[in-house]
Amino acid sequence: MNYLALSRVSMKHLAVLQLMLRSQSVTLAAERLCVSPSSISKTLSQLREILDDELFYREGNQLTPTPYAISLAPAVQDILARVNGLVAQGEFDPQNWVGQFSLSMRASTLELFARQLALLSQSLPSSVEFNIFAKEQLGFDALLRGEVQFLLLPHDITQPPVLHRDLVWQTLVTDELVCLMRRQHPLAQLPLTQERYLSFRHIGIHDRELAEPYFIQHLTHNVHARDVALTVADFGGAAMLCHHTDYLLTCSRRWAQQASQARDLLQQPLPFDYGQVGYSLVWNRNSLKDPALQWLQQELLARLSAETEKTALTGGQDHTSKSGSKNI
């Protein structure tokens, strides 16, 4: 172990590096640490010399981390979380805490969990800022770098997530997939068969980070691929397009029951095996060494699971067609 090299790196260096990785802004990092921007720049210069890497380079009006700086993020977050756990005295009290919490999800997922997230935000003191980002903006890479602390997303539970060994997935609730169509659709009065499902064009959803869902692989390998007419960023926009086209949308039943965009669309159960789907909370296992994030994780698991169970019991705003839904 090179103690001489280690003695040159302080907690201030690591704190600045983490805040710069999160904000990519000298000004914002300075505000968080209550120091001047010149102090942040000086610390960065010291780190560049110690680590022999540029760490951040200017790209337009933004500071972009180098690949080496990005690779350091998980280790830096782990070290700071461990030290924070050591210096924290007693149990974590959110009412006396100053800081930021962050969560990332799709807009459609926020619709499903908005009530409990709003209640959680209202329970926090004014000294705590609760940020919710779009998953398209801050996804798994941001979670590993510490830019966001949790992800909340629908996904295919059938396929084990293997994105990174440090990520923990906790399923909040299982769900079902349904096919949405407008009430004037040619299939509206007909039972939905696999042949009919594949005979019409579909709306796809962008997600470059997750594996292709099981039901798409199942159809492609055993029958033929769906004819995807267009792909959009979120289920809300896809549902709006269903109102104006004969395209089909495959989505979460829970979301379809609650979303205003899906109102007046018909639901049909899928006529083939689609595995198991649900909503999960994802976090970096190293981050829970921080008492504040451990508290937030427990709050999210308790509140969001309770909300989905309540939705399951009440049935949400049920716009299901008479043909019913397939149970998992």
Question: Out of 234-243, 250-259, 304-313, which region has the weakest mean confidence (pLDDT)?
Answer: 304-313
In the chain, the percentage of residues whose pLDDT exceeds 70 is: 88
pLDDT in tens, 91-100: 678 888 878 8
pLDDT in tens, 299-313: 999 998 875 555 544
Domain 3-87, architecture per CATH: Orthogonal Bundle (1.10)
User: In which band, very low, low, confident or very high, does the pLDDT at 1 lie, cut at 50, 70 and 90?
Assistant: low
Domain 100-328 matching CATH 1.20.1260.10: the answer reads no
CA 33/CA 19 separation, integer angstroms: 9
In the chain, the percentage of residues whose pLDDT exceeds 90 is: 45
Q: What is the pLDDT of residue 313?
A: 44
Q: Where are the domains of the chain?
A: 3-87, 100-328
pLDDT in tens, 2-21: 656 667 788 888 888 888 88
pLDDT value at 327 more than 50:
no
CA 273/CA 169 separation, integer angstroms: 23
- Here the tokens at position 106 are 């799709």
Find the mean pLDDT for residues 247-253. Answer: 96
Find the mean pLDDT for residues 56-73. Answer: 85
What does the DSSP assignment read for 67-116?
HHHHHHHHHHHHHHHHHHHHH--SS--GGG--EEEEEEE-HHHHHHHHHH
- Here the tokens at position 321 are 């067609």
pLDDT value at 326 more than 60:
no
